[in-house]
Structure formats: C-alpha cells, structure tokens
Amino acid sequence: MQKLLLYCTCLCMLLSGSAQAQIADWDTLDLHSPQTNIFAALQFNDRLLTTHAFGVSYSDDYGANWLDAAGAPRQAHSIWTRDGKMYASRVQNGYDSTWVSDDGGLHFNFWGEIRSDNPSTKVIRGDTMFAIIVGSGLYRERVFRKLRG
C-alpha cells in the first residue's frame, strides 16, 4: 500500500512541476521493467492488482513482490470486481473482450466480447453483460446486452 501511495504522491508532484529532482527516487514496484505502462489498478481485500502490457499482476504483500495472474488479458484497460468475482477487459482487433476470475485474480478465463474499437463500461450479472459504448457520429452512445455462451 505504501508503494501505491508513493506512486500517487510522485504523480501529483510531477503534474505540479516540482518533481524534477525526485524522479530518481521513484520505486518501480519490481514489475517487468521500469518502463511497464500500468493501465489500471485495483485493491481487492488485501490483494493489489495492476494491469499492464504483459497482463495482470498481483501482490499479497503490499507491493513488495508481484506475481502474474494466469490466463489474464494483455493490455487490459480496466479491472473491477462484482459479487466476489474479478473482471478485466481489453480492446483488440475491433472487439472489447472481458475475462473473469473466480479466485481473486490468480487465474482468469475468457468471458465474452462485444464488437467495439473503444473501451466500454460494463456491468456483469450472472451470465448477462450490459455495456455502454461511447461512439461518434449520429450514435454517440450505445447500450448492449450480451448473454454468455
């Protein structure tokens, strides 16, 4: 948790323009490399999770050590929980796809996809996904319902 707070503090200082001398003190969280782009982060009970170019990583010791979640999507734009399950989504090749984890983010399995070139906001209840996609042109917002299977 302290390392996550360190990231937030450093980001705020960087945005204010006063962090030039302190960039060397940043902690990289020991992910795949200091250049790993973090797309989303989540705390689930005492577990920290982050999505990045290589998938989803989790830490059970407040960021001291990180492990990769099996079957997780690469470059997931979002990660969230609902009813004890964890979900991660990514956009690739014209589809916004979602994976689900029943074990707190240790393993992910493919849930389903909707056709979209943009990230969507989703709610999943049981075997039904509701998604809102913000588009352009005449149809600026679309709402979809998809059944799993």
116-138 pLDDT tens trace: 888 888 878 888 887 877 765 55
CA 84 from chain centre, in angstroms, equals: 16
d(CA 61, CA 126): 31
Q: Give the β-pairing of 78-82 and 141-147.
A: unpaired
Residue 70: what pLDDT?
Answer: 97
Name the band, by pLDDT with cuts 50, 70 and 90, for residue 76.
very high
User: Average pLDDT of the chain?
Assistant: 76
Residue 103: what pLDDT?
Answer: 96
Q: Does the pTM of the predicted model rise above 0.85?
A: no
Residue 122: what pLDDT?
Answer: 81
The string of DSSP codes covering 54-106 is: TEEEEESSTTSS-EEPBTPPTT-SEEEEETTEEEEEEEETTEEEEEEESSSSS
1-19 pLDDT tens trace: 445 444 444 444 444 444 4
Q: For residue 82, what are the β-bridge partners? A: 85
Element (H, E) at 16: helix 2-16
Residue 110: what pLDDT?
Answer: 94
